[in-house]
Amino acid sequence: MARAFSLPSWFLAVAAAFLSHSIIVSGWATPPNATTVNGTYVGSYVAEYDQDLFLGMPYAQPPIGNLRFANPQSLNTSFNDTRDATSYSSECVGYGTDQWEYPIGEDCLYLNVVRPANYSSFGEPLPVGVWIHGGGFFEGGSPDKRYNLSFVVQNSVAIGKPFIGVSFNYRLSAWGFLASGQLAGEGTTNMALRDQRLALHWIQENIGAFGGDPSKVTIWGESAGAKSVGFHLIAFNGRDDKLFRGAIMESGNSVQPQAMFTADYFEAPYQALVDNVNCTDAIDVLGCLRSVPFDTLNTAINTTNATGWFPVIDGDFVARLASYQLEAGAYVHVPIISGANSDEGTAFGPVGINTTEEFLAFMEKGAGYPRIPLAPALAEEIINVYPDDPCDGIPGDLGCTRLNGTHGLEYRRTSAYIGDVVYIAPRRLQCQTWAAGGTPAYCYRFNTRPNGIPIESGVTHFQEVAFVFDNTNGYGYDVTPDPFAGVPASYFALAKLMSNSWASFIHDLDPNSFRRNDTVTPQWPVYDNADPQGFVWDANVTGLAYPEPDTFRASGISTILSFNRAFRR
């Protein structure tokens, strides 16, 4: 039941700061510029947010020609003139609705910097928040309007926790994750993750030119972006290259939802692609693939079921299964935020499952996550710890209602299992591991259903993004409904609270630091295995958030985690 809503004191203070702030309405006489290792870029000033934007700057050589399906290469040229940095680059080639209305192309390895225009007035270089977009590793891009960094950067200034925002593109689908024994043999693996890594190195070398502090970088992502953050935490067997000092993971972790394999697992789809573009009989098959005209290759990837690629174990970037590394302490020991949404499983689970027998068959066929067939004995274990009780099912807003029809009588049961196996169980493991290692972890459950999301879907995947970015105008929500259309004032206050908490973490590695004297919303607790407490973000309760014991579905989640080896992750 919803409780009475009142505005916390920090919200009123921030609102007053915005109202009293005199926004500059005229542009700079001279546009902002920054001199990087390779040359000087000229950006643009945005009076509405009092920010400097530097958009579309390359961080790698274009991955075309001989660099197609190759590990990314650092920039190897410099320039003496100035280069324009006032518009986003194309997104990388992807396959989904996230690419709609945005230009795409192979030449896509570019990044963007959003900084407060008065950055120098703060007296020292600013912390840096690096956004890694999601999209299942097959779609998405940094120009996506839903990921507009201006709002959260503006909020950071208003609360006295200013930071510089960075976002970048990385290669997607087969363009970024093509895998085979032949590619692995030449040392080419996990190209897109290496794109991201190279972007982080570029930031280390160049962010000082924009007023940023390379020693105070936080990497941050959602879904595939959060999975990427999880990979960077364990990259090179947990080697700390000092590329970041904090990490934020929204619905994604180091332990991946799907089973992990070596490159030869993908031989069949790789060969299907090679055959489709007539490279089968070429003396140099990889050379042939790299010379195929873009349109031909793009069509082949899109029509041969070759869009669903993901990272592989290569003994290098991904040294081994993440569960082994976390157990061994082989990860970068930096503070984290890690969370998931209440009803993740409704986005990834099956529909039309009506009996326990059908649920067993679904798991034994490997039809759902972790995307491998489960042994009958293991499937039985899952059945036992996820009983057929809709009162304990997902989504929780349905009470004890059992759905039927197209959803299936077992929908709430299967959704609970899938949500746990995909994101919630790995999130709990991440938090437990950090707590055991003595590194701060702030863990959460997002529990606010935005406008346009049906009750049967609940608080499903991706729904926290608009709140974290404080995107209360609904920019970029052209395919799905505006999350904030017609919602109560508490939704807007929750967006401000979450956005400011993220900004505080980026600035101080503490999401509470901007509201120490808050008497309405409790402080977000550091995770402690002796008394594990998560933090629930809920626009329908007084204070907008509250701690809760991180013990829900304990039997099911602990069973899932005990079988990480069997799940190959």
User: Which positions are annotated as active-site residues?
Assistant: 223, 344
535's enclosing H/E stretch is strand 533-537
For residues 510 and 160, the answer to whether their CB atoms sit within 8 Å is no
The Cβ of residue 377 has, within 10 Å, a number of other Cβ atoms equal to 8
| Displacement of CA 210 from its chain's centroid (Å) | 24
3-state secondary structure of 45: strand
- In the sheet with 533-537, reading across from the earlier edge strand, the strands are 44-46, 51-58, 110-116, 164-168, 126-132, 212-222, 246-250, 336-341, 441-446, 533-537, 545-549
Helices then strands, each counted (H, E), the chain: 18, 14
The angle subtended at Cα 434 by Cα 432 and Cα 435, nearest 5°, is 65
3-state secondary structure of 298: helix
Closest CA to 465 of 19, 26, 98, 195: 98
Please state the length of the chain.
569
**d(C-alpha 248, C-alpha 467), whole Å:** 15
3-state secondary structure of 343: coil
Q: Which residues contact 487 (CB under 8 A, 6 or more apart)?
A: 450, 451, 539
Task: Please give the C-alpha separations between residue 275 and each of 185, 270, 292, 503, in angstroms, as whole numbers.
Answer: 20, 9, 12, 49
For residues 141 and 91, the answer to whether their CB atoms sit within 8 Å is yes
With b meaning 16 or more CB within 10 Å and e meaning fewer, what string describes 198-232?
bbbebbbebbebbbbbbebbbbbbbbbbbbbbbbb
The angle subtended at Cα 92 by Cα 131 and Cα 461, nearest 5°, is 50
**d(C-alpha 212, C-alpha 216), whole Å:** 8
**d(C-alpha 345, C-alpha 398), whole Å:** 14
Q: Could you tell me if residue 522 is left (phi over 0), alpha (psi between -120 and 50 degrees) or otherwise beta?
A: beta
